[in-house]
C-alpha cells in the first residue's frame, strides 16, 4: 500500500507514535509518505521506502498568521496526486483532520476518492479541541473522516463526552517496539549519573501543566529522604524554567538533572530504577509504556487511560492526582526491596509486551485494507 501519514514532527507522543507506525509499515513493505512541516524527530536514518514531504508555508506581509492549514491541504493533494496514495492517515485532529477534509474534497473534484483516517491522541479532544475556538471545526472534520480511531478506551469515551458526533470511534491502543527498549543498561552511563549506586528516577514529558512536573519533584524529594537517589528530567516545555529555578534552591539540587529533549530514550530508560508520571490526564501515556518496555516500573496517577496500561501493584502503582505522599510511599515499596523491585521490573516488561509493535501494527493494516476496499 501507499500510505500518507500526517503528524506533528516534534517530541510529542502523537508525532512519536505516528513516526514509529510509519517506520513499522515501511518495514513490512508499504510505501510511507510523511507530510509534516519538519523532519519528524524519530525519523532518523535512511529508509528506502519512506518519503518525507515538507509543508512549506510561505510568508507574506499580509499574513500575521501564515495559513498552515491551507498549505497542508495543498501538500496532501500534491502527494496523493503524484504518488498514487491509497489513504491519508492523520494523527491529532487539529488541524490535520480539517486539512484532510479539504484535500479529500479537492481530490473528489478530480474523480479521486481518498479515504481519510483520523487518529485522536489526547489533548486534541480533552483540552484544545473542546475549546469553542476549535470545537465546531473539530466536530465537523471528525464526522467527515472515513474512520476515527482513538488510542485508548478512555479517549473514546472522552470524545463522546465532549463532542456531539454520531461517528463510531474505534480503539487501537498505542504500541512500543519492545526489542528496541529492552536493552542492557549502559553501565558507564549509570555510574556517571549515580556514582554511589543511588537509585535513578526518570520522568519524560513536554513540561506542560497537564504533566504536573512539580509533583515529580515533590515525590522525588520524599523518596530521596529515605533512599538516596538521582532524578533525571527529560524533555522541555513551558514549565521548565520555573521548575529549574525551584530545584536550584533545593539542598539536593545537584541530584536533579534537566537533560532537555533526548532522541535516544532507548539508551536512557534502561538505566532507570523507576519512572514517574503524575499527570493530570493522559489519554494513554506512551512515555510510561516505553519505560515499561525497558523494564522500568511506573509510579503514576490513575488518570485517563493510564489504568489501561498499568496494572496497580504489579508493574507499578497508581495514585490520585496530586497525592505525592502516596506516590512516594508506593515508590519506596518498590525501591526498598531488591526482590520486589526485580519482580516489578519483569512484570513491567511482561505488561509492555502486550502492547508490542508486532501485536498492534496488524490492526492498522487490517483497518487500511478495510477502508481501501
- Closest Cα to residue 359, out of 183, 181, 176? 176
**Of 207 and 220, which has the nearer Cβ to ligand GMT?**
207
Asked if 129 is part of the footprint of ligand GMT (rule: CB under 6 A), the reply reads no
Contact map string, positions 207 to 236, toward ligand GMT, x by CB under 6 A: ---x--------------------------
Q: Which is nearer to ligand GMT, 221 or 289 (CB)?
A: 289
CB nearer to ligand GMT: pick between 152 and 224: 152
* Residue nearer to ligand GMT on the CB measure, 14 or 118: 14
**Distance in Å, CB of 194 to ligand GMT, minimum:** 27
State the minimum distance, in angstroms, from the CB of residue 209 to ligand GMT: 10
Distances (CA, A) of 332 to 73, 227, 349: 51, 8, 20
What's the CA angle centered on 47, arms 45 and 49, to 5 degrees? 160
Cell (9 digits) for 173: 491502543
Pick the binder of ligand GMT from 151, 223, 274, 309 (CB under 6 A). Answer: 151
The Cα 213–Cα 171 span in angstroms is 28
CA 216 vs CA 66, 264, 276, 307, 369: distances in Å: 37, 22, 6, 19, 43
Query: What burial class does residue 136 get, using C-beta atoms within 10 Å of its C-beta: 0-12 exposed, 13-18 middle, 19+ buried?
Result: exposed
Fill in the per-residue mask, 238 to 267: x = in contact with ligand GMT (CB under 6 A), - = not in contact.
Answer: ------------------------------
Q: Is the Cβ of residue 229 or residue 279 nearer to ligand GMT in the bound state?
A: 279
Question: For the chain, what is the radius of gyration of the CA atoms?
Answer: 21
Candidate residues 22, 285, 297, 316; the one interacting with ligand GMT per rule CB under 6 A: 285
Comparing CA positions, the residue from 367, 303, 308 lying closest to residue 119 is 367
For residues 324 and 222, the answer to whether their CB atoms sit within 8 Å is: yes
Q: Whose CA is closest to 172, among 283, 280, 83?
A: 283
In the bound state with ligand GMT, the residue whose beta carbon lies nearer, of 114 and 181, is 181
Least distance CB 338 / ligand GMT (angstroms): 31
Nearest approach, Cβ of 119 to ligand GMT (angstroms)?
8
Q: Where are the beta strands (DSSP E) in the chain?
A: 2-6, 31-36, 50-54, 87-91, 116-120, 147-150, 169-171, 199-204, 229-234, 256-260, 274-277, 298-301, 316-319
CB of 282 to ligand GMT, least distance (A): 4
Residue nearer to ligand GMT on the CB measure, 240 or 341? 240
Find out whether 256 and 247 touch, Cβ atoms under 8 Å: yes
Q: Contact region for ligand GMT (CB under 6 A) — 44-52, 283-291, 322-330, 353-361?
A: 283-291
Q: Please report the sign of the dihedral spanned by the C-alpha atoms of residue 36, residue 39, residue 42, residue 47.
A: positive
Question: Mask of contacts with ligand GMT, 86-125, x by CB under 6 A?
Answer: ------x----------------------------xxx--
Toward ligand GMT, which CB reaches closer, 23 or 121? 121
Q: Which is nearer to ligand GMT, 112 or 209 (CB)?
A: 209
Q: Which residues bind ligand GMT (CB under 6 A)?
A: 12-15, 17, 92, 121-123, 151, 174, 205-206, 210, 281-286
Amino acid at each position: 500500500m501507499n500510505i500518507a501519514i500526517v503528524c506533528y514532527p516534534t517530541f510529542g507522543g502523537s508525532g512519536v507514535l505516528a513516526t514509529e507506525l510509519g517506520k513499522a509499515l515501511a518495514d513490512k513493505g508499504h510505501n510511507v509518505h510523511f507530510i509534516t512541516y519538519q523532519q519528524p524527530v524519530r525519523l532518523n536514518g535512511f529508509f528506502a521506502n519512506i518519503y518525507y514531504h515538507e509543508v512549506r508555508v510561505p510568508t507574506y506581509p499580509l499574513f500575521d498568521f501564515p495559513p498552515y492549514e491551507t498549505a497542508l491541504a495543498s501538500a496532501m493533494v500534491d502527494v496523493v496526486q503524484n504518488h498514487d496514495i491509497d489513504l491519508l492517515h492523520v494523527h491529532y485532529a487539529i488541524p490535520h483532520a480539517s486539512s484532510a477534509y479539504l484535500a479529500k474534497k479537492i481530490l473528489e473534484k478530480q474523480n479521486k476518492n481518498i479515504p481519510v483516517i483520523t487518529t485522536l491522541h489526547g489533548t486534541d479532544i480533552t483540552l484544545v479541541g473542546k475549546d469553542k475556538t476549535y470545537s465546531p471545526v473539530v466536530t465537523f472534520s471528525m464526522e467527515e473522516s472515513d474512520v476515527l480511531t482513538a488510542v485508548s478506551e478512555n479517549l473514546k469515551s472522552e470524545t463522546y463526552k465532549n463532542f456531539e458526533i454520531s461517528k463510531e470511534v474505534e480503539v487501537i491502543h498505542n504500541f512500543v517496539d519492545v526489542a528496541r527498549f529492552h536493552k542492557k543498561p549502559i553501565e558507564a552511563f549509570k555510574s556517571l549519573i549515580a556514582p554511589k549506586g543511588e537509585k535513578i528516577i526518570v520522568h519524560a514529558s513536554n513540561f506542560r501543566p497537564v504533566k504536573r512536573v512539580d509533583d515529580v519533584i515533590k515525590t522525588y524529594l520524599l523518596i530521596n529522604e529515605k533512599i538516596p537517589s538521582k532524578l533525571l528530567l527529560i524533555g522541555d516545555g513551558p514549565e521548565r524554567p520555573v521548575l529549574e529555578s525551584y530545584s536550584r534552591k533545593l539542598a539536593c539540587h545537584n541530584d536533579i538533572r534537566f537533560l532537555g529533549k533526548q532522541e535516544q530514550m532507548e539508551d536512557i530508560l534502561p538505566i532507570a530504577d523507576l519512572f514517574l508520571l503524575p499527570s493530570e490526564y493522559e489519554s494513554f501515556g506512551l512515555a510510561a509504556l516505553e519505560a515499561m518496555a525497558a523494564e522500568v516500573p511506573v509510579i503514576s496517577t490513575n488518570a485517563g487511560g493510564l489504568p489501561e496500561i498499568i496494572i496497580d501493584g504489579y508493574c507499578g502503582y497508581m495514585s490520585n492526582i496530586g497525592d505525592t505522599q502516596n506516590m512516594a510511599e508506593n515508590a519506596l515499596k518498590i525501591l526498598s526491596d531488591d526482590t520486589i523491585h526485580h519482580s516489578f521490573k519483569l512484570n513491567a516488561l511482561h505488561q509492555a509486551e502486550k502492547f508490542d509493535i508486532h501485536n498492534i501494527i496488524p490492526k492498522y493494516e487490517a483497518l487500511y485494507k478495510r477502508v481501501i476496499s
